[in-house]
Structure 1
Amino acid sequence: MAENFEERLTYLMRRVSTALAQDVDRVLRDFAITHAQYGALAQLGLVDPEALSAATMADRNGITAQSMSSAIAGLLDRGLVRREPHPTHGRILQVRITPKGAELLDRAHVATGKAENRSLAFLDEQQKHALGSSLRAMMRAMGLYLYFPAADGDRP
């Protein structure tokens, strides 16, 4: 008997990922930012020091450097980030979030958190924890680095 494709985990994860991404995209439209721009702002709002190169942000977002450069250009135009020379590497420009960008990021976090909560509403806290732990374990197994600490301290 042939395997039921709809039972494959990769199929299920893709469907959930696509639906959640579409929901978050709808939320981000209210802030006039894209997923890539939101990812860039989130990284800049959480890192220490609070500046990163476009190449680093592209890698962390899993997108091309060209796509990240385009995302950053839009953020620069709106005054949400600024570029500055790297303190030790003269040819590298780094990006830093502005107060205006931090304020927008805070509001976007709240709104996207509501979208995430809607998608997870049917899970209890133990299931949410197990799902997060499983996804982080998959990321580590696939060589994907976790850049932000998890609430439970589960780090690579």
Structure 2
Amino acid sequence: MEDRAPVPSPHAAKDVTEHVGYRLKRTSAALRSAMDKALREHDLTVPQYSCLELLDEQPGLSNADLARGTFVTRQSANVVLRGLKDAGLITRPATTDHGRALPVHLTPAGQERLHAARSVVYAIEERMIKSIPARRLTALLADLDTMAAALDE
């Protein structure tokens, strides 16, 4: 077996649990777990809830837009949208007058379900951000955006 030179760490860390990527993933997993549990009470998954939020802010988004906005593939977004449509929470035409994109809209039942679910999701986010000093939140959000942009290049 050939000797390999050690790969230098991007910053001082005694083990993998001190790496930024590990901490981000741990936080993401904790948030997802809390949201999964809370949204079960509202008969929603995290991707379904995310779609409802996006559609509330931007009615008429397409499957591709929703896939990008919820960080899933187009195929997965189709499954999510099918579930929401079967539950009567969204409308989506079978055809469109122009282009290929089928605009998606919330139904009144979708608005109601979103409103109820939003309160539990926002409570989770509030619990999470209360754990850090309020004066650091703006900088944290900016740093997270900067890190994401560095990887998008």
Normalised by the shorter chain, which TM-score bucket? 0.7 to 0.9
- Describe the superposition over 1:55-86 as per-residue Cα deviations: whole angstroms up to 9, x where unpaired: 22112211111111111111101110001244
> Quick one: which amino acid aligns to residue 88 of structure 1?
H
**Contact 2:63–2:101 (Cα < 8 Å) also in 1:** no
SS in 2 for 1:51: coil
Greater share of strand: 1
Give the % identical residues: 31
Residues 42-121 of structure 1 correspond to what in structure 2 (within 5 A)? 42-47=53-58, 50-84=59-93, 85-89=95-99, 91-121=100-130
Whichever of the two has the greater Rg, that structure is 2
Cα RMSD after superposing both structures: 1.9
Cα distance in 1 for partners of 2:117, 2:97 equals: 30
**Alignment length, in residue pairs?**
141
SS in 2 for 1:63: coil
Cα distance in 2 for partners of 1:120, 1:63 equals: 25
> Quick one: which amino acid aligns to residue 151 of structure 2?
M
Partner residue, 1:153: none
Please, which runs of 5 or more residues in structure 1 have no aligned partner?
145-156
Cα distance in 1 for partners of 2:13, 2:108 equals: 56
Runs (4+) off by over 3 Å: none
Q: TM-score normalised to the size of structure 1? A: 0.82
Cα distance in 1 for partners of 2:143, 2:115 equals: 27
How many Å apart are 1:3 and its aligned residue? 3.8
Partner residue, 2:3: none
1:13 matches 2:19? no
